[in-house]
């Protein structure tokens, strides 16, 4: 699987409150509507202009803060194809995988990508290609990859339970 998209580049510690404000956490339940508020308090252009398969590139600790899964959901439904960061906050990492949103942890790539440029990510090869070159990233652990491949945790659990029932 590979994706190609425009880069939206941000800094360190992009937190879940600016990705998806707390005031919406119990009032907005439709993922498409969540997408309209993605990064609302941080980059007001993002939700209006983001295109399918666009890539977010960020520094350290992306997604720190609240456990709200909508932070991953809103980006997924806004069309984001992957997030590349130096590191991810723990719960956000889980939430993104569980929403079927691929993550790439690659410090070197982050340092070499500029905002607005078109970047290609080949998940099978573990390669990210941008203007400044090709960067390798390690694959996700097998158990985590399985969730991503199934399109997220809910379809994954559904599949696993069906397999067990069939035995």
Partner 1 sequence: MGKTFAEKILALKSGKKSVVTGEIVTVSPDIVMSHDNTAAIAKKFKQIGIDIVKHTEKIIIPLDHCVPAATEKYATNHKEIREFVQEQKIENFYDINTGVCHQILPEKGHVLPGSLILGADSHTTTYGAFGAFSTGIGRSEVASIWATDEIWLRVPETIKINIEGNIPSGVYPKDIILHIIGDLGADGALYKAVEFSGKIIKEMDISGRMTLCNMAVEMGAKIGYVKPDEKTIQWLALRTNKKYETIKSDVDAEFEKIIDYDVSDLEPQVACPHTVDNVKPVSEVVGTRIDQALIGTCTNGRLEDLKIASEILRGRKISNQVRLLVFPASMEVFAQAMELGILQELVKSGAVIMNPGCGPCLGAHEGVLAPGEVCLSTANRNFKGRMGCKEAEVYLASPVTVAISSLYGEITDVRGDLK
Give the binding-site size for partner 1 (rule: CB under 8 A). 42
Site for partner 1 in 136-155 (CB under 8 A): 141, 143-144, 152-154
Q: Which residue has the tokens 């399918």?
A: 52
Site for partner 1 in 57-116 (CB under 8 A): 60-61, 64-69, 72, 87, 89-91, 94-95, 98-99
On the CB side of 155, how many CA atoms lie within 13 Å of its CA?
A: 11
CA distance 141 to 30: 31
Spatial neighbors of 126 by CB under 8 A, at least 6 apart, are: 136, 137, 138, 139
Residue numbers at the binding site for partner 1 (CB under 8 A): 12-13, 15, 17-18, 21-23, 25-27, 29, 41-42, 60-61, 64-69, 72, 87, 89-91, 94-95, 98-99, 141, 143-144, 152-154, 156-158, 160-161
């Amino acid at each position: 699987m590979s994706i190609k998209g425009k880069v939206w580049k941000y800094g360190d510690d992009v937190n879940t409150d600016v990705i998806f404000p707390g005031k919406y956490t119990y009032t907005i339940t439709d993922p498409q509507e969540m997408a309209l508020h993605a990064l609302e308090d941080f980059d007001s252009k993002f939700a209006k202009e983001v295109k399918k398969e666009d890539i977010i590139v960020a520094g350290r600790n992306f997604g720190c803060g609240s456990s709200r899964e909508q932070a991953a959901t809103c980006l997924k439904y806004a069309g984001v194809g992957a997030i590349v960061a130096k590191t991810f906050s723990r719960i956000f990492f889980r939430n993104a995988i569980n929403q079927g949103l691929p993550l790439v942890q690659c410090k070197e790539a982050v340092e070499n990508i500029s905002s607005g440029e078109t970047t290609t990510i080949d998940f099978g090869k573990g390669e990210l290609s941008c203007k400044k070159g090709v960067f390798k990233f390690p694959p996700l652990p097998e158990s985590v990859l399985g969730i991503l491949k199934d399109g997220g945790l809910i379809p994954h659990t559904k599949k696993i339970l069906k397999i067990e029932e069939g035995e």
